[in-house]
Structure formats: C-alpha cells, structure tokens
Amino acid sequence: MAIPESALNSLRDSLVSSTIFTPQDEGYHDALRRWSDTGVKRAGIVITPTAVEDIATALNWSQTHNVDLAIKCGGHSVSGTSSSAGGLVIDLSRLNSATVNPSTKTITVGGGATWKDVDDALAAHGLAAVGGTVNHTGVGGLTLGGGYGWLSGEHGLTIDNLLSAKVVLADGSVVTASEEENADLFWALRGAGYNFGVVVEFTFQAYDQPDPVYAGIVAFTPDKVEAIVSELNTLLVERPDPRSGAVCIFARPPGAPVPMVNVLVFYNGTKEQGESRFNDLLALGPVANMIDTIPYNHLNALQNPMATYGDRKSFKGIFFTPPLSPSFAKMMLAEFTEKVQSDPDLGASALLLEFYDMAKTVSVPRTATAFASRGRTQNGIVMLRWTDSSKDLEHRAWARDVQGRWKAQLTEEVEGGVPQYINYAEPGDSVVSNIYGENLGRLKELKAKYDPANVFRKMHPINV
C-alpha cells in the first residue's frame, strides 16, 4: 500500500537537513542499492539525514502513520533487513565522520561510517581498532552484533572496545549509552543493538599500530585440503598466538578450473615473524603466494575483490569447535565443488572458515554484554552468489542444507551451547535457533523499557 501523499508531504515539511528520495525523484534507484541484489526492496521513501533531529522526526512519523521502517548503514544484509517494501528507509550513509583523538587513542565515528573510514582515519595517527575484515562493511551493523576482526586475538570483540554510543530511541529521544550513562542500554547494544535504537555515533578505543603487518592470500590445489586444515588446527590449538589469524576460503580464483583452497593469513608483526609462524603452511606448496608486509589499513581490503557489490547472495553461518576434522572439510569442499561446477552461475561463490584466537573474547563473561556466543567456537560462512533470480529458492535451500549438516555434524562439540554468531545468522533462518542464550531474559526486560512498541524489529527481533 502506497504512503499517502499527504503523509509524505508532512515528513518533507518536518525535516531540516535530509536528502529525500521517493520513486519519482532522481537518485531513487541508487538509494535502493545494496551489497546484494536480494536485499533490494522498493521503498516508499528514503531519507539520508545529516542532522540527528531528522532521525527522531522520521521515527515518530513512521509510528504515527504506521509505516514500515528500516535503518540502513552499510547495506550488507542479504535478506533485506536494511530495506523496506513500500515503507521508510533511514539511510545513515551521510553520517560518516571519523574523528581521532590521538591523546586518548580513541575514535568517534558517525553511525553511517564504514570500516574503511575508521581504518584510514586511524592509520594517519599510527593507530588501529578492532573492526570488520571487509572494509566496506558498515560500522553500525558489525558493532551492534559483536564484531570480530583481525585484532580480536589481542583486543577482543569490537563491542569490547566500544566506549560509548549516541542513540536515538523509538520515542525520538537522544541518549548517550556507556558504562556511566544508561549502562543497561549500553549492555544491550553490545550484542543485540539492532533491537534498541538508531546509533548515530560510536566511540571506540584504538591501539598503537605504527608498523605494517604480514598478510595476504596463498592458494593451494584441492588435494591439499586435509593437510592445510590440519596445519591450521595445529596453529590454533597447539600453537596459539593472539597476534595471528587465518581464514580458509574454498573459492575459484579467476582462471582456475575448480575451487581452490585459499588461505588469508595474518600476523601482527614483521615479515620474519610471519614467515616463521606460517612456515609449515607455506611448505605445503602453494600455487600462488600473495603474502606481503602491508599497512594495517590495507589489510581489510584484501577480501574486497571476493566481496563486491551486486548479484544475488545467500549468507549462511556455520560453526565448529577446533580442531576441525580434515576429512569433513575435504567432504565439504568436494560437495561445494560439485555444486559450483553444476551451475556456472554460482562461480563466484565461496565457503569460508575462520581460525581466530578466541582467548581474549572468552575472557569476558557471557553476561558482561548481551553478546552470547563467547566460546572457542570458530565461525564460517556459506556464501552463494548468482544472477538468475529464478534460482533464488533453489540456491537458498542448498545453502540451508549445507548449514544444517554442519550443525548436525558438529553441534555436540560446540562449547557453551550458543554456536550462532548473530552477524552470520540470516534473519528467519530456521537453522538458527539460539543467538541470545542466557541473556535473552534480561534483553526482553530492556526491550520493554526502551522499545515497548517493537519499532526496531528487522534484525533478530526480541519479542516482549
């Protein structure tokens, strides 16, 4: 149902500093663009505010007129949680400032910033923060769901380094949440924040990062998969190092006939230290080696060529408690290869397995923040990519099947019973049954306090 013209005019007249797009306006289709074409919906109106008061106005307007609401930061949701069919989208992309305080080693960023904004601003001062591993990801979405990054081994999750947040609540009031102010809201934002308001400003702790890091991708032929997984298990379980991490990526590089075993390695140290750390992995004989010493702010761009905008995508979270069975990994690579080979339209798809040191993350009690999956469980993603919209149901069903078999195979091994990482859990996915764990009860109480009308319900809603 279309939004009445009178209602649209009342919103236009109330805004003081926003660009407005309706279906008749130039730029409307660009305003609908998302990372995945499956996340695109035709909104009734899109606003891109630069003033916080416009966000409050828009929130009140959507409730007065009973208009569906979506908040867009980076726009990476493949299921369209940052979009609205016929409703209002508040696009935060113009709130992308990034201000560094070198004396306190902190950075304050707008709610619409991306991690590239953060990485580049901090690099100018020899600093870095725990952030996303794909730098065009939005700061807001990743942070409110917890946030892993390459520095998590040393400094924990993104939320463990969040100092404060400025939030527009459902009633339009603007509050600061920190350990000193609205501490209960601050607790909830760190792991379930999508449910509580529009965060228009984040302040993070940053850390000295004056030197380059050892990082890059090495590619191996598929027959090496068991040896590679065994070596990654050894590095993670037997030789843990918080300065180190890796992502194993089953994907077909340009020009390759089949998916390869690609490993993105990271070591926060010198080339010599990195080579020593990954010596046994490199001894397995990669067919390509693109590892180098690079500035930290270039690190989070390394996956960008595999994570470009466009096409249709499905994003299913998987998980395992290390050591991962090399034979199981071999089986999954074989099935993934068969699927991709059977349909060339899936050629840009990937299966990713993370190997991060979780000791720092686990050192924070589960109940210290709303984020529940603080265990040594490792995360992964089944990421399918295609162009034919008639195959949507088929490809999503296959991805769910893969996700379900990972869960059936490995659930009993998962520590703490909360395997699902919220940022890798697609809303509405029946396989994802437990995200908030023991924190759900308190979250329901806070939802009733801060958003009793359930205005913010797009992403893993907490129902009261």
Q: How many domains does one find in the chain?
A: 3
Q: Does 134 lie in the same domain as 37? A: no
Question: Which range marks the domain in which residue 276 is found?
Answer: 213-294+310-424
Q: Does 248 lie in the same domain as 331? A: yes
Contact 424, 317 (CB under 8 A): yes
Cα-based angle 38, 44, 47 (whole degrees, multiple of 5): 90
At residue 364, the pLDDT reads 97
Q: Does 378 lie in the same domain as 233? A: yes
Q: Does 372 lie in the same domain as 417? A: yes
Give the pLDDT confidence of 109-152 residue by residue, as tens digits.
Answer: 999 999 999 999 999 999 999 999 999 999 999 999 999 999 99
Cα R_g (the chain), whole angstroms: 22
User: Does the N-terminal peptide bond of residue 4 adopt cis geometry, omega within 30 degrees of 0?
Assistant: no
CATH code at position 159:
3.30.465.10
Give the pLDDT confidence of 432-446 residue by residue, as tens digits.
Answer: 668 898 999 999 999
Q: What does 295-322 look like in DSSP terms, one character per residue?
A: -HHHHTTTTGGGS-S-SEEEEEEEEEPS
Give the pLDDT confidence of 238-290 residue by residue, as tens digits.
Answer: 999 999 999 999 999 999 999 999 999 999 999 999 999 999 999 999 999 99
Amino acid at 43: A
**Whether the predicted pLDDT of 358 surpasses 60:** yes
- Of 145, 174, 209, the position where a domain reaches its end is 209
Nearest to 68 by CA among 50, 53, 83: 83
At residue 134, the pLDDT reads 95
At residue 429, the pLDDT reads 67
Rounded to whole angstroms, how far apart are CA atoms 437 and 424?
Answer: 16
Q: Does 333 lie in the same domain as 202? A: no
CATH code at position 59:
3.30.43.10
Contact 123, 297 (CB under 8 A): yes
Give the pLDDT confidence of 310-333 residue by residue, as tens digits.
Answer: 999 999 999 888 999 999 999 999
261 within some domain: yes
**Whether the predicted pLDDT of 416 surpasses 80:** no
